[in-house]
Chain A
Amino acid sequence: MSAVDWRNRWGWPWLTNIKDQGGCGSCYSFSGTGLVEAMTRIEHCVWSLRSEGDVGDAISFLFGAHSKCGGGSPEHVLQWIQANGIADPGCWSSPNSPKLAMPTPDRLGRTVRLDKYHSIGGPNIHNDMKTWIELNGPVAVCFACYPEFDDACKNDSIYIYSNPDNKPSDGHCVLIVGYDDAKAAWLVRNSWGTGWGTHGYGWFGYGQGEHGLEHHAALGVIGVWTNADPWSKRRLHNGNFYESGDGTKHRNFEVWAAGPGGVIRHYTQNGSTLAWSLTETLPEVSLPPAFHAKGYDCGGAPTVLASTYFRNYEIVYPTTGAQLRHMHYDQVGKQWSSQKPFGPTNSDGVPGFIQIDVGAPGNFEVVVRCSTGTLENWWRDNVGNGGVWAKRSSFGNGILLSGATVVQRWAAGGNPGVNVPAGLDLVCVTDHHTMQRWWRNDPNTMHWAPCETFGAHVHSPPVMIRSQFGATNETIPGDYELCVAVSGLIEHWWTPGNPEPTLQSLNGTTAKWAQIAKFGTNVAGRHVKQVLGLMQSSYGFHLELVAELDNGKLQHFSRDGSGWHAKTVF
């Protein structure tokens, strides 16, 4: 006797909120899409809401003359996702009607990719489905759905076919997200809203021949066949550290770090062997003032992201000429390109650099310290001005260090009905060697306001992310996680992200930071000089960190359920 329930397993939620197909015959799309969504979450530990409309619109054209609301096959859905990926609803909306939606122009950088899927059928389908669900995750199924199913499964009751009036059935598709031998039933996730069954879920009795869930083949996806998009992961990493979709398991770690002579080196941890290696040295760039000469000009820690431009890598780094430079790796052309330096001419710090959810492709935002002790916010309007960086604002004083700490909040703020402040947060180091959070009030004043201070004796730049901790579903903001080197060791700080901290006054907020760990290198005689990158990875929600040691080498640290562990030096 065994039971599996993917709504909550090992203390973590794995399924997005229940959806509603409304008056559209698109259950097949919800079933196939829900499968990819669940398996991406299970494998990569990230909420990755997908759009049934994306695939549904295409299915309408490719697999039948009818609209997406006229029924279809989950297998066709998976075939289409395998060939084209599937975008998020912000990229491709999903109206519950035959009306076709239009994607944003950066769809190719916002799709979860799928290597393949598997069909589970044959005489052992019952046991094979149970094994698959236990070892891998949910499966998509279709069945003969009778009118009595409308009011079935309330209060965790188990649906057993009876149909005394011999009413005809319609084909319907759902996702099986668990089973319970004690109940002799499958746990199904329907797409009829939370009013159906028990909050949208229901128990469906085993067997039942042609009326049951084992009558037709089920479809499954192994987690490593999913490849999460950078847009879904954008808040989960910062600094020079990123988990890419490369490698056979789509979980390679990528690190970019400044090397001698102004070079930037790219290191990769193979997601299968876990071995670190030097992947490349980034190419020379055109150097000012005339830009005829080629050379290297990296003058400090780079900050990296993967953008919605085809999953391109984007790097902003401080130059030896006290400015910033933006380079990107074109995933289509497989080559690096660099732009001329931009930003303040007295730049003096680690740049915060993110792509935000404004415009499509989303705008880039950079905040960096100037030698005068102020911070400057620069941005690149990726829709309106052809990729030109421009200064947005200058703020603060007495700033000692900036860091890779800029993060965007969840809420589309400024909405009085929501009453949740949106915008950007960052943490910098003051000349009192404490850390201070700043908040940009988007989309209202767009002004940066100083918030709470915390920590002491800080002489190195921090790195901050928004994690999956506390994000109990895809709409709930995750916690703030911050790591910083202090006196040769690393301090890990956090504050809850839900609700987002509110600004009570210009000098105080409700955010209360707590230091939950202090750890260091396991290399004899070595100390941590600076934290360079932080992320939450596919490996069981582990936090991963890259730091620079006082001998110039890099070290990987990882935090699992038992705490932080020093890993490879490379």
Chain B
Amino acid sequence: MNIESRTLVLGTRVLVTLAGLGAAGYRWSAAVDDPAIVSVEGVALASGPDVRPPGASRDEAFALLALAVGETKVRFVQARSFEPGGEPNAVREMRVRVVDARLVGAHEK
């Protein structure tokens, strides 16, 4: 599995958008190895007129909030809640590094 890497500036919030499969019963969930560094919460995307055909699913989005300097891993799993222990349809892992913007700036000088 490819593991993405992202760097967040302390105190900032970024949106991660994942291809949805809600019409097939699959939902994304997220877990963080070290919740003291990053917090994750699902967010509702702004929904315009729905022109998608039945069966096509909305994307899902999560907000990552950089809480403390450090590095942690966020794991997104697309699975069915009614199939506990069942195989997930997709897994996406992200290595997140949180940096202090002031220190980054000092280093660059």
Contact = CB atoms under 8 A, between A and B. Distances in A.
Interface string B29-58: 000000000000000110100101111111
Contacts, number: 98
Interface string A49-82: 0000000000000001010011111100000000
Contacts of B25: 150, 192, 196
Interface in B42-90: 44-45, 47, 50, 52-58, 78, 80-83, 86, 89-90
A172 B81 contact: no
A71 B80 contact: no
A373 B21 CA distance: 64
Contacts of A23: 21, 24, 26, 78, 89-90
Given A28-B55, A72-B55, A151 B82 contact: yes
Given A25-B21, A150-B82, A170 B27 contact: no
Contacts of B27: 147, 150
Contacts of A73: 53-54
B53 A71 contact: yes
Nearest to A26: B55
A92 B84 CA distance: 31
A18 B57 CA distance: 22
B101 interface: no
Nearest to B21: A23
B23 interface: yes
A502 to B, nearest CB: 35
A406 B44 CA distance: 62
A354 to B, nearest CB: 40
A259 B84 CA distance: 66
Nearest to B47: A168
Contacts of A396: none
Contacts of B23: 25, 27, 71, 145, 170-172
A453 to B, nearest CB: 50
A532 to B, nearest CB: 50
Given A23-B90, A168-B47, A170-B58, A147 B53 contact: no
Nearest to B42: A167
A24 interface: yes
Interface of chain B, main secondary structure: loop
A25 B24 contact: yes
Contacts of B53: 28, 64, 70-73, 171
Contacts of B52: 71, 170-171
Given A150-B82, A151-B81, A173-B55, A21 B24 contact: yes
A22 interface: yes
Interface of B: 20-27, 44-45, 47, 50, 52-58, 78, 80-83, 86, 89-90
22 contacts: A22-B89, A27-B55, A64-B53, A70-B53, A70-B55, A71-B52, A71-B54, A71-B55, A71-B57, A147-B22, A151-B82, A154-B82, A170-B23, A170-B52, A170-B54, A171-B23, A171-B50, A173-B54, A193-B83, A195-B82, A195-B83, A196-B25
Given A27-B55, A145-B22, A171-B56, 17 more contacts: A23-B21, A23-B26, A23-B78, A25-B56, A25-B57, A29-B55, A71-B52, A71-B54, A74-B54, A142-B54, A145-B23, A154-B82, A168-B58, A170-B22, A172-B55, A193-B83, A196-B25
